[in-house]
């Protein structure tokens, strides 16, 4: 079953021959290889590019182990380029395999992989595309190494809209499945609950966890697993390393240093398993330090980490909305709005109100609240309170769990159902 991922295919098409290394990043099993080796490859063939002018290598494949040496990789690619006056396309999958153990231990040392990619950049008849599952080497670092000549495309698991294109059922059945098993492409093709549960559970244990332990030489894997469980249990909740340390002590009766917690969280972020959302003072127009929130790249993986036991739709819906905003290209923060009021003694007090999401893209900004149920006037007023105290005219939206036709509150806030919000790519403009 072919899953059309037009957003990402078009992103690659729009970057063709732009003089940069196109870097496709994303969590493992999110569809990077499928995007590059199937969808984008098919597009190239459809435009008249011949097979011998497309050089593709999956470096995570055992049969290509020899090419994990950066020099050998470069020599192989050069051997395939037979005519310097004709256009060639280089597609390299999971290039972090070309980073050696020694280079991993010495992050200050220049990587042989970067020399290889820089060499390809200098060849005007070569257009290079790479994928990788570790942001530390393939996102911030690669942009630094190439001094503005690296171009990142981040691929997410299937959005709800993409998921429904292949789901055999209506949107209500699809939503129930999606909030439980998430949007990893292979999961969406599985027919039974048993298959999905087994795949997601094994994927976390045998792929993500082992990758982290082996890559970073983690000695205390139990602590890393416990940290994953704590973060999975607290999606949508404000936290910081100090609070996590306290949880280890009070709940798990275990000791772990704040430095180790920060280090492990960094590993999870670099592997795209979780994302960190920082707090932003809307009135003061500045970022606030801790605490922050963490969301999972795929909700099915989050649920698998907890044995599919802690299925809280309100927090899961919030996580999915956060991911959707990022899929649409927004940078997403947690909003904080200060409201001054008088207490029962008549003394003025300052109260900090939260806006679930402040979404920015260029000059556009949206304030988005996630509310599973909005059944009473009191609940509406509660969700609107922070929005009413924002001193600007950017659009304000409340996304609710139940199906409803879009409507506006007396204060002008748009209210819509989560399924419409996710399925309509123009929902923010309603």
pLDDT in tens, 111-142: 788 889 989 999 999 999 999 877 655 555 55
Chain-centroid distance, C-alpha 69: 29
Q: What is the pLDDT of residue 136?
A: 57
CA-wise closest residue to 275 among 324, 309, 308: 324
CA-wise closest residue to 315 among 224, 425, 239, 406: 239
Q: What is the pLDDT of residue 147?
A: 59
- Written as six digits, the tokens of 410 are 């007396």
- Cis peptide leading into residue 299 (ω within 30°): no
Strand pairing class (348-361; 331-342): antiparallel
pLDDT in tens, 306-332: 999 989 999 999 999 999 999 999 999
Query: Which DSSP symbol is given to 84?
Result: T
Above 60 in pLDDT, residue 303?
A: yes
Residue 414: CB atoms within 10 Å = 20
Q: What is the pLDDT of residue 148?
A: 67
* Stretch 151-168: mean pLDDT: 95
Average pLDDT, the chain: 92
Query: Which DSSP symbol is given to 343?
Result: -
Give the CATH H-level superfamily of domain 6-154. P-loop containing nucleotide triphosphate hydrolases (3.40.50.300)
Q: What is the pLDDT of residue 137?
A: 57
* Stretch 219-244: mean pLDDT: 94
* Euclidean distance between CA atoms 386 and 90, whole angstroms: 50
* Euclidean distance between CA atoms 193 and 201, whole angstroms: 12
Lowest mean per-residue pLDDT among 262-266, 348-352, 408-412:
348-352
* Stretch 336-356: mean pLDDT: 84
| Share above pLDDT 70 across residues of the chain, in percent, rounded to a whole number | 95
- Written as six digits, the tokens of 239 are 């936290």
* Stretch 245-267: mean pLDDT: 92
Chain-centroid distance, C-alpha 371: 22
> Which of 214-223, 345-354, 420-429 shows the highest mean pLDDT?
420-429
Identify the band that residue 13 occupies on the pLDDT scale cut at 50, 70 and 90.
very high
**DSSP result, 3-68:** ---HHHHHHHHTTTTSSSEEEEE-STTSSHHHIIIIIIHHHHHHTT--GGGEEEEETTSGGGGGGG
Domain boundaries, the chain: 6-154, 158-430
Above 80 in pLDDT, residue 10?
A: yes
pLDDT in tens, 52-66: 999 999 999 999 999
Q: Compute the radius of gyration of the chain from its Cα atoms.
A: 23
**DSSP result, 292-307:** EEEEES-HHHHHHHTT
> Does residue 150 contact residue 118 with C-beta atoms inside 8 Å?
no
Above 90 in pLDDT, residue 359?
A: yes
* Euclidean distance between CA atoms 310 and 300, whole angstroms: 12
pLDDT in tens, 271-294: 899 999 999 999 989 999 889 999
pLDDT in tens, 164-194: 999 999 999 999 999 999 999 999 999 999 9
| Partners of 349 in beta bridges | 341
Q: What is the pLDDT of residue 339?
A: 87
| Distance in angstroms between the alpha carbons of the first and the last residue of the chain | 33
């Amino acid at each position: 079953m072919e899953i059309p991922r037009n957003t990402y295919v078009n992103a690659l098409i729009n970057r063709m021959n732009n003089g940069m290394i196109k870097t496709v990043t994303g969590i493992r099993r999110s569809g990077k290889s499928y995007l590059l080796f199937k969808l984008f490859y098919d597009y190239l063939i459809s435009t008249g590019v011949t097979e011998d002018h497309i050089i593709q290598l999956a470096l995570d494949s055992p049969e290509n182990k020899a090419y994990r040496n950066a020099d050998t990789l470069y020599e192989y690619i050069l051997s395939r380029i037979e005519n310097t006056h004709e256009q060639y396309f280089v597609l390299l999958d999971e290039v972090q395999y070309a980073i050696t153990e020694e280079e991993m231990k010495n992050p200050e040392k220049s990587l042989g992989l970067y020399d290889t990619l820089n060499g390809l950049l200098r060849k005007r008849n070569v257009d290079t595309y790479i994928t990788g599952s570790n942001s530390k080497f393939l996102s911030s670092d690669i942009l630094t190494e190439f001094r503005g000549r690296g171009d990142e495309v981040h691929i997410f698991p299937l959005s709800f809209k993409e998921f429904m294109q292949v789901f055999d059922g209506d949107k209500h059945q699809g939503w129930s499945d999606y909030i439980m098993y998430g949007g990893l492409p292979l999961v969406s093709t599985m027919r039974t609950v048993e298959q999905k549960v087994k795949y997601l559970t094994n994927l976390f244990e045998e792929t993500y966890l082992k990758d982290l332990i082996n890559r970073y030489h983690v000695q205390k894997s139990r602590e890393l697993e416990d940290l994953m469980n704590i973060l999975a249990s607290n999606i949508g909740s404000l936290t910081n390393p100090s609070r996590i340390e306290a949880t280890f002590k009070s709940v798990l009766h275990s000791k772990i240093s704040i430095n180790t917690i920060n280090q492990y969280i960094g590993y999870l972020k670099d592997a795209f398993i979780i994302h960190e959302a920082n707090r932003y003072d809307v009135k003061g127009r500045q970022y606030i330090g801790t605490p922050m929130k963490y969301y999972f790249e795929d909700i099915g993986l989050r649920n698998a980490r907890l044995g599919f036991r802690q299925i809280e739709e309100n927090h899961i819906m919030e996580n999915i909305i956060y991911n959707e905003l990022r899929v649409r290209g927004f940078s997403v923060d947690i909003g904080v709005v200060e409201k001054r009021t008088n207490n029962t003694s008549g003394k003025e007090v300052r109260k900090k109100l939260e806006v679930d999401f402040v979404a920015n893209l260029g000059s556009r900004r949206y304030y988005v609240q996630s509310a599973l149920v909005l059944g009473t006037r009191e609940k509406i007023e509660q969700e609107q309170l922070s929005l009413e105290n924002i001193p600007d005219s950017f659009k304000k939206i409340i996304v609710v769990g139940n199906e409803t036709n879009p409507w506006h509150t007396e204060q002008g806030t748009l209210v819509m159902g989560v399924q419409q919000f996710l399925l309509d790519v123009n929902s923010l403009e309603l």
